[in-house]
Structure 1
């Protein structure tokens, strides 16, 4: 139960991170809904990827006690994972738009 709560908090932090980054740097924004979706997937992907090193919710709440150091790392990874996801998707979107515009001009 505690591990599930930690996972949900991580996802919420990811949503917050993506929306904050999109709000601060408008050129990376996909709107509130787009940023939220990207934040969920970016944070989950990074938590799954980096969680192998012991930052996953199960390791944080191993014996019923919360390891606050691991929790802090988990939340930071979730926050920055969402930002990286937003940057990567914006780069992909830009490349696809350039390709579409080049194809349309020929």
Structure 2
């Protein structure tokens, strides 16, 4: 695996997590497209944040060696980021649209 492939897999995991949360918790859903957008941005934000701590895709592929623990942490953080971004986006949406 390359660093780019790990990044793409992480983003897909974030999309799946956001759509899963939107499916399970209907009050936080923006529909499939909105959930996907929130999942992408949340996943990227959390990957970049935790990547500074050594869980970025290029640290996972440290000189050709594969670190499964770092990959697991990266994918877990990506899923959490996608789900949290969806929930936070819906709360901001409700905050701005109080009528």
Partner deviation per Cα, 1:55-95 (whole Å, 9 max, x = no partner): 10010011112100000000000000011101110110000
> TM (normalized to structure 2)?
0.97
Q: Which residue of 2 aligns with 1:83?
A: 83
Higher relative contact order, structure no. (Cα contacts within 8 Å, ≥ 6 residues apart): 2
Q: Give the structure 1 partner of residue 56 of structure 2.
A: 56
5+ long unaligned stretches in structure 2? none
TM-score by length of 1: 0.91
Q: Which residue pairs with 1:73 in the alignment?
A: 73
Larger Rg: 1
Q: Secondary structure at the match of 2:55?
A: coil
Task: Say how many residue pairs are matched.
Answer: 99
| Structure 1: runs of 5 or more not aligned | 102-106
Per-residue CA deviations over 1:5-25 (Å, capped at 9, x if unaligned) read 000000000000000000000
Q: Which runs of 4+ in 1 moved over 2 A?
A: none
